[in-house]
Structure 1
């Protein structure tokens, strides 16, 4: 690497290896920065409930807690403030946070001038703001849409804990504008990079619709099953392959049986071979209630699959050009999603033309372009 400053870049997340898109994004970016000569360190606050296998990494990782820090809620009323057990837990948690923040400070202090701290999840920011970040650039990120964040406790935490960082990054300009309207004048945006670009796209010869994501309420697999119940009878030679695992697996399988879909739905479990899973499909479906800038959607388009998706976030209609490389449905309208699936399943010429367009269009998020934008942001914030 020549002509660019080599920086120390810290990624701080809830966990180094928890299952999910934020972890995948963090390690993709960590590898890209490492390849460009930056010195990267990935830091997690605690061990995850469900880890993912990361393989050999070309940079160090650190986890601050061996066990999850004590969980305590806000002290409500006089009784809550006087509860001895709660007070003890609060004191333990506060002391532990100070100790772990001191560990962060030691790591940060060893960094070269121009170092950057990228906090990928707002919970992790609670430790970073206790650490000494003087002289460092601190960037806080929200990997979900502003609208979906508002349905969670994370919304208020973003407003509280990211208000003083050097830059708060959403994933789209539309979301950044929404955060600015909430008073976050430090908000901007940075899209996710394309996770991969297979040399050979899917042949789109199998009568298979593919879904990839955690079996969790956010991913809307229950709504996908409702949509599939409307679509499947007209396409008895098609199958729905659902890749993923999670806490809702049992209840979703019961719903599948109740809808009479066991003969056309395959529960594939977690996969370590996403390109392979996509190669076996001809259509991709995203049924999420909320997203940020979904990697699975980008991966499917890179594999040449046309996508039917709920328009659940600005990131979705930023990635999919409705009617050109995929078809969007109104969030929660399972009948409309079913019709979008039916359109793609019924017309091979349309599938092929949209799939080819998807593979071309998604390359505007190529890794080289996104890394360049990051390095320009680092240089701008350092001035």
Structure 2
């Protein structure tokens, strides 16, 4: 899904280029409209375990649950399907021995991996979200249950790792995402355009960005907000745009597989997410040399943006403050050029080579 799929295939390409043999195993196909486009043929094998999403089940609580025959049948069917897919993974793992490493990118997938035979393999679990986002859902309990005995549990930042250690986990490390690309020079930053890239969903906060833009547009009527992305909230966001009288200054661009091309027409990048892990879109914008204004919604955002040096951070949910930061960058070309150039240099610490080196060092450490 989304950024995790992007990360998975990027790192698969990086590892393959280093001589590692890769096999990407997906649990389910992508939902309709959410498929990623990748070059064919891929330089590594892929397998998807289900043809469709496995059946949803409800908890069987108390006597009423025990007497619910239909729900018990759904539970039994799901469990049988999970065992069948786990056996298929066990065969793939057996073919990969000796010396194989299983990297589980989502705790949801660990529910299948835990049923498979991983004896003699290194198992690395990952959480691609902040500790706060995980704790606000059922996922933290699953992280603690399913990742407790893996060889290493990786978070995206040291801060998230520290919180998991305080929560009782003793196998925790951290590993940031890598840059998907690194241009040779910053983009021109000549157009009067603010760009946002991301899924049109509640967590990405585009509704708050539109609220902020309503004030910005009145002060900078010659600037445009260009939104790239698609999602369940698109129609409601378009209605909000009309209600705020912003149809003349907001451009809906749809999904794009050419993020660098989208950023080439930007002078400012805006991110209004309510929750993030280690957002790849921020890495991409900084790699393009576009200064960012974003909500300080997660440790990963603070790790990427050095507030006041290569971007500007606003308090989470404070649309007026975010709008003020965007307006500051719009109004001051010298500032946005200085911050954009600083972003272009600073983000190189997350280059694909640097992060792949860190992964290989981790493999070597765990194998000792």
Q: TM-score, normalised by structure 2?
A: 0.98
> Which residue number corresponds to residue 52 of structure 1?
36
Runs of 4 or more consecutive aligned structure 1 residues displaced over 4 Å after TM superposition:
none
Partner SS for 2:96: coil
Deviation (angstroms), 1:207: 0.3
Contact 2:97–2:121, Cα closer than 8 Å, also in 1: no
How far apart, CA to CA, are the structure 2 residues paired with 1:124 and 1:172?
Answer: 21
1:381 to 2:366 alignment: yes
C-alpha deviations, 1:222-246, integer Å up to 9, x for none? 1111111121110000000000000
**Separation in structure 2 between the aligned mates of residue 157 and residue 247 of structure 1, nearest angstrom:** 26
Alpha-carbon distance, 1:147 to partner? 0.6
Number of the residue aligned with 1:314: 299
Partner of 1:368: 353
What is residue 125 of structure 1 aligned with on the other side?
A: 110
How many residues are aligned here? 365
Unaligned runs of 5+ in 2: none
Question: Does the 8 Å contact 2:271/2:293 carry over to 1?
Answer: yes
Would you say 1:160 and 2:145 are equivalent positions?
yes
TM-score (norm 1): 0.94
Q: 1:369: Cα distance to partner?
A: 1.0
Match of 1:249 among 209, 213, 234: 234
1:204 correspondence with 2:189 = yes
- Provide the C-alpha distance between the structure 2 equivalents of 1:149 and 1:112, rounded to a whole number of angstroms: 33
SS in 2 for 1:39: coil
In structure 2, the residue matched to 1:279 is 264
- 1:187 and 1:73 map into 2 onto residues whose CA distance is 31
CA distance in structure 1 between the partners assigned to 2:62 and 2:333 by the alignment: 63
Alpha-carbon deviation of 1:55? 2.1
1:43 maps to 25
Give the distance between the partners of 1:200 and 1:104, measured in 2 at CA.
Answer: 44
